[in-house]
Every structure is written in structure tokens, then in C-alpha cells.
Amino acid sequence: MLLRGRPRALGAAALLLLLLLLIGFFLFGGDPDCELGGEREARRGEGGGGDPGSVPGSPTPRVPSDGRLRPRGAAAFDGVPLADPGGHNRSDCIPPPPLPKCELLQVAIVCAGHDSSRDVVTLVKSLLFYRKNPLHLHLVTDAVARNILEMLFHTWMVPAVQISFYNADELKPQVSWIPNKHYSGLYGLMKLVLPSALPPDLARVIVLDTDVTFASDIAELWALFAHFSDKQAIGLVENQSDWYLGNLWRNHRPWPALGRGFNTGVILLRLDRLRQAGWEQMWKLTATRELLTLPATSLADQDIFNAVIKEHPWLVQPLPCIWNVQLSDHTLAERCYSEASDLKVIHWNSPKKLRVKNKHVESFRNLYLTFLEYDGNLLRRELFGCPCPPPPGAEQLQQALAQLEEQDTCFEFRQQRLTVHRVHITFLPHKPPPAQPHDVTLVAQLSMERLQMLEALCRHWPGPMSLALYLTDAEAQQFLRFMETSAVLSARQDVAYHVVYREGSLYPINQLRNVALAQVLTPYVFLSDIDFLPAHSLYDYLRASIEQLELGGRRKAALVVPAFETLHYRFRFPSSKAELLTLLDAGSLYTFRYHEWPQGHAPTDYTRWREAQAPYRVQWAADYEPYVVVPRDCPRYDPRFVGFGWNKVAHIIELDAQEYELLVLPEAFTIHLPHTPSLDITRFRSNPTYRDCLRALKDEFHQDLSRHYGAAALKYLTALQQPRGPA
């Protein structure tokens, strides 16, 4: 019995010892796999002395394949320490409290110009894709970016997203005294003034550069506020390069920083604490002192943030490196992670952007391109379980859609009219010409299939243009690449391109025209179509005609530009009216659609035009649809006409009803080039239901015309009694 019991006792003792060791490890040793491994290192720093200007603990632990952060001891990169300024209130093992499901997350972004506005769209797509919480975006913008983004978010109509704009120009005086060599210019310094620029009752905000891409839910980043001590006010990821060590090249002298310093592409700000600490005075005093010996900032606000943190290290809470993986020219970001799938935020902080060198850049680039070309319409989804007020206009839109009957054979037409398309105006950099009293902008719309017309149009029309393009998100990027490779198009800065994102099966032709028309800056517009080439001299001739006819006063006139067509893909474009008449007589040119739809342009009276030496007046007639020059405040196109048919006819009726004179210009002409038929015209020709729906839309238009103009509309109703084909 004694021999049998002794092994049992020894085994029990060993088991008890192992249990005690495990309990002691978890009570006193900590969990080596915790995310923010700083408290243990802070205790070491307090007990063991060391450099008071450095902080033990690494904010850039490596991410192993299981996706969990592991602390790497006191060295961040290559033995260079980076501080835990607080040295307390940082838990290795206690995860942050769960985020309330529907808490409103606050995000601030500084954005200026056309290119930066496009970057914001891609960033916001990545945010919306992963988010489960309502968002409030605080956008500090110049006038250009505000004009673009205000229209974009108004038409995007994303649920549970609030937008507030702040005028960057009003903030410039607060930072304009700081010399800055960074390519971001003054706007790269504006994050410094956010505590005073944002609403005083706003306590916390995440600040993002426009060149970051999210690969995770931003709520996880917001949850890191829980790791802040009572004094910490700024959450940052360590700078992932040797920039602030000053050893990149000879005589390299960076601004002061703790160790490698911090990168400000992703910032968590406790605005309330910064205000209490006197942040404005703090950063201004630091910047003023450093600029006595340094000529300028090299990395904009980041230099000043780091200099302040060097002087006041208790302000900063280091964040895990995966929340700002920096792809700069001298990046050491690969030391942060072991697998690209571990990352949360990619930061394209090199001027080379997607062309930066990194062994994982292909994976990062694919993530970025996914959101660049992602269909933004899919992000209009409601947040599950989070009741939020609908976007402006959404309730009225839903009520209008609810009144439609899906059994109606024309449901597709009526639904398309009510569709709110996302609109990105001035998609590319645009420099409008100086204001001139008689200037004219060519207005047209197109889809991807007509993109090849742009270069020829630019050669024929040297004046400003406003063009609406109906594209998918992916096609918008193809268009961008097409523009970059075209010497003709990239040389033109006076052409404004407005992307209307595709949604629905019918081409919203009049909605596109209205978008382009609304963005015109000149007093007059030439309402054209993309498959027409104007005479080379037409731009100058129109401006001279407007001045001679004194249209700037009370006289309301629509100047008719006679339209012709060729059936040849290659032909010699006439340089004058005389040459055009020669081609017309030879059968190389025809009056536009004379063989298919003669009533569309017959009132122009081409016989009279051949001999005319001065503008002459013509009368409106049924189905007349000339191309005209009118003031930019002319009536808008009727959006009910989608697809093919009657879209221009209805607009000319509106002009006539508002008593515009129709004046034909004797030396003006534009020529239609042949192309494959559009999908909508093919459907019109082959589908009787399509034609029936067009007639129904015409009848509704007549009824609205009568209600609006009363007895004056009788002539249109009488003239249109006879059944005719559409224009």
C-alpha cells in the first residue's frame, strides 16, 4: 500500500505545483499575446532608470500569422527605443470595452483640390465597406473640394453618415506663418488647428490622411481610445522609417522626435484634453522655437506634432503599428507584420503612391484598387439594428417610388426618372478661363462607348466645355487612365468632366445634360451632342454673334446651329460654309437625319441658309430639335425622358413656351459622325412596349405643359395631335 501510494502523492504534488505556476504566470507574468504590450515595459522603465527622454515599450509589435500582436520588448526597430510616455494605465491583458453597437464615430479629414477629393472617395468607400456604426465626417476643405464633395455626398445618399464642412481658407492664417516644404502645402498643417476648428462639444475624433485605405472596421480603431490614460490626448503609430533618426543622408537634420517619432496619417485625438492642456499655445511655442534653427517643416504637421511630443511625452498613446502601415520611400513597415492579411490601415505616404517599392505592394495595391473601382451604389445599405435618420430627400424618394406600380409596363421608365445618381463634378483638375461677357461653353454628355470622340472634339472646339460622363466606378478609372495617356486631352484644363455613376437600365440622357449644364461658368452654352463636331471657327463665331445681336440684355434668343451628317467614317472636314455646300452638293454630306426624321430639323430652312448672309428667325414647329446656343440660365431638360426619344424636342418646346426667339446663324454648322447605334435606339426600334411608354411620357409632358403655361400651351397640343415618331 505504501509503495503504491507514494507515486500517487508525488503525482498530485507535481500537478499542484504546475497549477500554482500557471496561476502565478497569469496573475503576475501577463499574457505575452496581448495587443498593447506597454504596461510591463513601463514598469521596467520605472524600476530600472534608463534614458528619461525615451519610453520603454514598443508601439510596433510584429503580427504573426494568427493575427495577434506580440510585444517585441523595448526596441521598436533595430534597438531604437520608443517611449510609453504615461508609464501607467495601459493594460497588457484587459481588452478594450466593447463598443456600443450604434455609437456615432467621429472622423476628420483635411481635403483640398480635385485629386484629393478623388482620394477621399476611395478612403470613404473602404470605411463604409467595413463599418457597422454610424459615422460623422468632418471635412476641412477648400472651395473646390467642398463643391465636389457636397454634391457627391448629397447624391450618394448613404444612410447613417453625417457630413459637416469647415472652410480651410478661414484656417489658413493660423498656419500660413509656418514655412513648409512638404508637397501638401498649407493644407498639410491644418490638423494642428482641429481642436479649435471642430465644434467645442466634440470630445474625440479620428483624424485621417486622404491617402489611407482601411482593411478593417474603423470601430476597432475607435475602441483604442479606451487605452488612453487620464492625461493622454494623442494616439499615434510609430513612424516606420529612419527619418527622425537623421541618418538617411549626410547633413540630414530632421525635427526633434522621441526615437523614431510618430506618423500622423492616422491620429486619435482627445480634443477635450488638448483644449484643457492649452494645445494651441503649446504647438505654436514649440514651432516658433524650432523654426529659429530649422528653415521649414519637411513633413508638415507631423514635424510639429513630434516636436511637441518630444517636449511633452505624456500626451501620446502609442498605437499598434497595424493601424498605420506606412509605405513611404524609406519604409521599414515590413517589420511590423508577417502577413499582409494582418493589417488594418494602409498608408500610401510616399509621393510615388502606388508605385512605391515594397515586397507586399502588389497585395496592398489590389486592396486599394478594389475600393477604387468598387460600386459605390452598393454602400447605400442600411445599418442593421441601428435606427438612424434617413439622408436628406430619402423619405420623399421612397414615397415616390412606393407609388409606382411594378405591374405598369412603363415601370422601368418611371423608376429611372426617380433614380438619384451619384455625381462627382469636376472629376479632373479644371481651370476655368477668365470671365468674358460673351463666352460660350459647349455642353454634352457621353458614355464609355463614345470616349473616342473626345480628342476630335477638343481639336474642333478650343473653348470651355462641360461634359457629363455616364460611367461605372471601374469605367471612371479607365477614363482617368485614358486622359493621362492622351496628349490632346491632358493639355486642356478648360474642360470640366462630371462623372454620373451608372445605375438602372435606361440611359438618363436629360439628367446628364442637366448635370453638365448646372456646372457651366460662362454666360452662354452651346447645347450639343458628343457625336457632333462643330466647325473649327464656330467658337469664335458664336461669341462674335452674341455680341453683335446684343443678347446680353432683355432679348431672349436661342441661336440655331444648323446640323449636318456624313455617312463616311473618313471624310475631309469642311473649313468653311462654301466647302460644306460643295460637299453637300456632291452627296458627301446631308442635312441631319433628312432620311429618317426630316421634321426634326426642317424648320431650320436649309434652302434659305444656303444663301443667308445674316441671322434669320424661324418659327417653332412640331418635333423641332435644333442644336442651340442659349444663356446658361435657360430651362433645364425634362428628366422624365430617358433612353431614346423626345429628349431634345421637349426642351425646345420649353424654350418656345418661354418666348425665346429661334435665330438661325448663317455661317454656323456642326456635323454628325457615324457610329454604331446605341442600346436604347435599338430597343426603341425593336420593342413596341418601349415606343408605347415613350408616347405615354409625351402625353404626361403635354398635361404638365398645360398646367404650367395654360392657354399658351394649346398650340403645342394642337400641333402634336398627329401621331409621329420620336426624335
Give the Cα separation of 486 and 37 in Å (integer).
Answer: 53
The DSSP-derived string for 615-633 is -EEE---TT---EEEEETT
Distance of alpha carbon 296 from the chain centroid: 31
Give the Cα separation of 152 and 632 in Å (integer).
Answer: 22
Q: Which residues of the chain have pLDDT under 70?
A: 1-97, 339-340, 351, 353-356, 358, 720-727
Residue 315's contacts (CB-CB under 8 Å, 6 or more residues apart) are: 85, 231, 232, 233, 234, 277, 308, 309
- In angstroms, the Cα distances linking 157 to 123, 160, 472 are 17, 9, 17
Give the Cα separation of 159 and 398 in Å (integer).
Answer: 13
Helices (H), 538-645: 538-548, 577-586, 606-611
pLDDT on residue 18: 52
Q: Which of 493, 528, 725 is nearest to 622 (CA)?
A: 725
Give the Cα separation of 322 and 345 in Å (integer).
Answer: 6
- What values do phi and psi take at 32, rounded to 5? -70, -10
Q: Which three cell numbers stand for residue 663?
A: 435665330
Q: Which of 131, 313, 354, 108 is nearest to 229 (CA)?
A: 313
- Residue 472 near residue 501 (C-beta atoms within 8 A): yes
- Residue 131 near residue 219 (C-beta atoms within 8 A): yes
pLDDT on residue 96: 59
The single residue listed with the C-alpha cell 446605341 is 678
Per DSSP bridges, beta strands 262-270 and 234-238 are antiparallel
The single residue listed with the C-alpha cell 411620357 is 697
Give the Cα separation of 128 and 394 in Å (integer).
Answer: 18
The DSSP-derived string for 393-440 is THHHHHHHHHTS-TTSTTHHHHHHHH----EE-S-S---PPPP-TT-E
For 552, left (φ over 0), alpha (ψ -120 to 50), or beta? Answer: alpha
Crossing angle of helices 301-311/279-290, nearest 10°? 100
Instruction: Please measure the distance between the N-terminal and C-terminal CA atoms of the chain and give it in whole angstroms.
Output: 110
pLDDT on residue 571: 83
pLDDT on residue 721: 64
DSSP 8-state assignment for residue 62: B
pLDDT on residue 7: 46
Give the Cα separation of 62 and 82 in Å (integer).
Answer: 15
Q: Which of 267, 211, 216, 218 is nearest to 239 (CA)?
A: 267
> Nearest 10 degrees: CA dihedral of 354, 360, 363, 369?
-10
The single residue listed with the C-alpha cell 507515486 is 7
- Residue 110 near residue 301 (C-beta atoms within 8 A): no
Per-residue HEC secondary structure of 455-477 comes to HHHHHHCCCCEEEEEEECHHHHH
Give the Cα separation of 84 and 238 in Å (integer).
Answer: 11
pLDDT on residue 57: 33
pLDDT on residue 44: 33
Handedness of CA 158, 161, 166, 168 (dihedral sign): negative
